[in-house]
A and B are shown apart, each in its own frame.
Chain A
Amino acid sequence: MLALVLCLYVGIITIWPLGQLLLTALQSGDAGEPLGVMRDTLAARATSRAFWNTLTLSLISVGISTALGTALALAVGLMWMPLKATLSFLILMPLIIPSQILALSWIELMGAQSPILRPLGLALAPGQGNPLYSRFGIALVMGIEHMPLVFIAVRAALRGLPADLVDAARIAAIPPCCILTRVILPLALPSALAGALLAFTAAVGNFGIPALLGIPGRVPMLTTLIYQRLNGFGPSVAGQVAVLALILTLLAAAALLLRGAAMRQLRVPVEAGRSFQPARIAPAWAQALIWAVVLLIAILPLAALILTSFVPAIGVAFSLEVASLDQYRRVLANPAVIRAFQNSLLLSALAAVICVLVALPLAYLAARRTSPAIAAMDLVAEVPWVVPGTVVALAMILAFLPPLPVIGVSLYGTGAIILIAYLARFLPLVLRPLTAAAAAGDAAEDEAARIAGIGLTGRLGRIFAPSVAPSALAGGVLILMTAMNELTLSALLWSSGHETIGVMVFSLQYEGNSTAAAAVSVLSTLLLVVLCVIAELALGRRRAMALPWRA
Chain B
Amino acid sequence: MTRTLLLSIALSALALPALAQTLTIYTSQPQEQMTEVIAAFNEEHPEIEVELFRSGTTEVMAKLQAEFAAGGSPADVLLIADAVAMTQLKGDERLMAYPEAPTEGIDAALLDADAMFFPTKLITTGIVYNTDLVDTPPTSWADLAQPEAAAQTIMPSPLYSGAAAIHVGTMVQQDQFGWDYFEMLAENGAVAGQGNGTVLEAVARGEKGYGVLVEYMAMNAKAQGSPVDFVFPSEGVTVVTQPVAILASTDAPEAARAFVDWQLGQAAQQQSVAQGYFPLGAGLDAPEGYPDPASLTLIEADNARLLADGETVKQEFADLYGG
Contacts and interface: CB of A to CB of B under 8 A. Distances in A.
A69 to B, nearest CB: 32
A313 B204 contact: yes
Contacts of B31: 334, 336, 507-508, 511, 513
Nearest to B49: A497
A314 B207 contact: no
A410 B70 contact: yes
Contact of B206 (A113, A230, A334, A335): A113
Contact of B59 (A215, A231, A496): A231
B233 to A, nearest CB: 21
Contact of A314 (B53, B59, B193, B205): B205
Contacts of A113: 205-206
Contacts of B209: 127
A495 interface: yes
Contact of B69 (A234, A330, A508, A511): A234
Contacts of B152: 127
Contact of B226 (A218, A234, A314, A496): A314
A512 B197 contact: yes
18 contacts: A111-B205, A111-B207, A126-B132, A231-B59, A231-B62, A232-B59, A232-B160, A234-B65, A236-B65, A314-B204, A315-B203, A315-B205, A315-B206, A410-B67, A413-B70, A496-B75, A497-B24, A507-B55
A45 B289 CA distance: 48
Majority DSSP secondary structure for residues of A touching B: loop
A507 B54 contact: yes
Contacts of A514: 201
B240 interface: no
Contacts of A336: 31, 35, 52, 54
Contacts of A314: 200-201, 204-205, 221, 226
Given A234-B69, A512-B197, A496 B26 contact: yes
A34 interface: no
A74 to B, nearest CB: 39
A130 B207 contact: yes
A512 B227 contact: no
Interface in B12-40: 24-26, 30-32, 35, 38
Interface in B96-119: none
Given A336-B52, A413-B74, A512 B130 contact: no
B71 A315 contact: no
Interface of A: 46, 111-113, 126-130, 215-216, 218, 220, 228, 230-236, 312-316, 322, 330, 333-336, 401-403, 408, 410, 412-413, 495-497, 507-514, 516
B7 to A, nearest CB: 26
Contact of A413 (B67, B196, B200, B227): B67
B195 A511 contact: yes
A509 B73 CA distance: 27
Contact of B62 (A233, A322, A413): A233
B231 interface: no
A220 to B, nearest CB: 8
A131 to B, nearest CB: 10
B193 A216 contact: yes
Contacts of B196: 512
B206 to A, nearest CB: 4
Nearest to B52: A496
Contacts of B208: 127, 129
A299 B73 CA distance: 45
A313 B197 contact: no
Contact of A511 (B133, B197, B202): B197
Contact of B70 (A402, A511, A513): A402
A315 B32 contact: no
Interface string B55-84: 100110011011101111111000000000
Contacts of A236: 65, 69
B62 A126 contact: no
Contacts of A330: 32
A226 B279 CA distance: 39
B296 to A, nearest CB: 24
B198 A401 contact: no
B224 interface: yes
B291 interface: no
B190 interface: no
B54 to A, nearest CB: 7
A315 B198 contact: no
B295 to A, nearest CB: 28
Nearest to B26: A496
Nearest to B201: A512
B198 A496 contact: no
A316 B225 contact: yes
Contact of B207 (A129, A413, A497): A129
Contacts of A128: 207
B323 interface: yes
A32 to B, nearest CB: 21
B225 A401 contact: no
Chain B CB within 10 A, most for which of A230, A315, A412: A315
B206 A126 contact: yes
Interface pairs A-B: 5 shortest CB-CB: A512-B197, A315-B204, A496-B53, A126-B206, A313-B224
Contact of A313 (B62, B133, B202, B221): B221
Nearest to B160: A232
Given A130-B207, A509-B201, A511-B197, 20 more contacts: A113-B205, A129-B202, A129-B207, A129-B208, A216-B198, A234-B69, A313-B204, A313-B226, A315-B227, A316-B225, A334-B31, A336-B35, A403-B70, A410-B70, A412-B67, A496-B52, A497-B52, A497-B53, A512-B199, A513-B31
Nearest to B73: A413
Interface string B211-254: 00000010001001111100000000000000000000000000
A277 B207 CA distance: 51
Contact of B225 (A228, A235, A313, A512): A313
Contacts of B217: 512
